[in-house]
A and B are shown apart, each in its own frame.
Chain A
Amino acid sequence: MKATVTVMLKPGVLDPQGKAIGHALHTLGFGTVGEVRAGKVIELELAESDPERARVAADEMARKLLANTVIESYQVSVDV
């Protein structure tokens, strides 16, 4: 079973990488682009058949390692 953890900087935390990407997109002529935020996607292959247990496990992994909740928020999704 696959779980996907998406990690983003919390609102209010400066994201210079997102800013740089936004700047580059403007330079390329994509004038409609507003704020850009950059994050990480982490895919986990889990030896688990129950989606709820997979979600709970991935959530714990996110809290303990994959995200630093001082600066980042995360979302867990499970492919069923």
Chain B
Amino acid sequence: MKTGVIIFPGINRERDMMIALRRSGAEPRMIWHKETDLAGLDLIVLPGGFSHGDYLRCGAMAAHSPVMTAVREHVVRGGYLLGVCNGFQILTEAGLLPGALLHNASLRFLSMDCHLRVERTDTVFTSQYQRGQVFRAVMAHGDGNYFADEATLDRLEGEGLVALRYATPSGDVTPEANRNGSARAIAGILSPNLRVLGLMPHPEDLVDPLMGGTDGKPLFDALAVA
């Protein structure tokens, strides 16, 4: 898959994302947020960080960057799009995924491991996991508390667009496992065509034994061969 990683001012997780993509065999290129031509790319990744200093709201400024017009066109063309952490926040601010990310319910910045239960595997992002499988990921965010109105949450659930939920290591969805307070323990959601995924935790943080594990690697392996 021809892959581009978009860099907004204040993004700081782009190199980790590049490493994860490369380790799975992709040859990504970095794209500055002022570029406006994304033709030829199959996958666009919005990495984590603090775009524009999180001013106003996390992702609010980046959602209106010049490159986002091309990102919208890419989505309309049926291209693949992955947003992680601040990237997920940008996707909701841009209206490319529903809902919003509020301050963590605890008001604390959470920097710790979490466990994610895979809710569906017939997507280009999750095809190398098993349904119900739990994998470890790292959360590092102050605003990861997924919110949407009840009707939107019901629609997401009804259409099977919840990709990942916070869970215990054994796969139980409990309030304790849902550290940031997300509605229905949602950690990641899909677009109706299953080609856009946004998630708060960082799968790119665990793609090598030297990083402490490879739980996130199947996501990038799946993208590389898709």
A residues with CB within 8 A of B:
13-14, 16-17, 20, 65-66, 68, 70-71
Contact present for A20 and B107 (CB under 8 Å): yes
Contact present for A66 and B56 (CB under 8 Å): yes
8 residue pairs of the A-B complex, CB under 8 angstroms, read A13-B102, A14-B102, A14-B105, A14-B145, A16-B107, A17-B107, A65-B56, A70-B100
Contact present for B64 and A65 (CB under 8 Å): yes
Task: Provide the bound-state CA to CA distance between A17 and B106, in Å.
Answer: 10
Contact present for B56 and A16 (CB under 8 Å): no
CB within 8 A of A71: which of B56, B102, B107? Answer: B102
A68-B57, A71-B100 as given contacts; A16 in contact with B106, CB under 8 Å: yes
Measured between beta carbons, the chain B residues less than 8 angstroms from A13 are 102, 147
Number of B interface residues, CB 8 Å? 20
B103 CB-CB contact with A under 8 Å = yes
B204 CB-CB contact with A under 8 Å = no
Task: Provide the bound-state CA to CA distance between A24 and B122, in Å.
Answer: 48
Contact present for A16 and B103 (CB under 8 Å): yes
A13-B147, A14-B145, A14-B181 as given contacts; A68 in contact with B100, CB under 8 Å: yes
Measured between beta carbons, the chain B residues less than 8 angstroms from A17 are 103, 107
Measured between beta carbons, the chain B residues less than 8 angstroms from A14 are 102, 105, 145, 147, 181
A-B pairs, top 10 by smallest CB distance, nearest first, are A16-B107, A70-B100, A71-B100, A16-B103, A20-B107, A68-B100, A68-B57, A16-B105, A71-B147, A14-B105
Interface string of B144-160 (1 = CB under 8 A from A): 01011100000000000
B171 CB-CB contact with A under 8 Å = no
B11 CB-CB contact with A under 8 Å = no
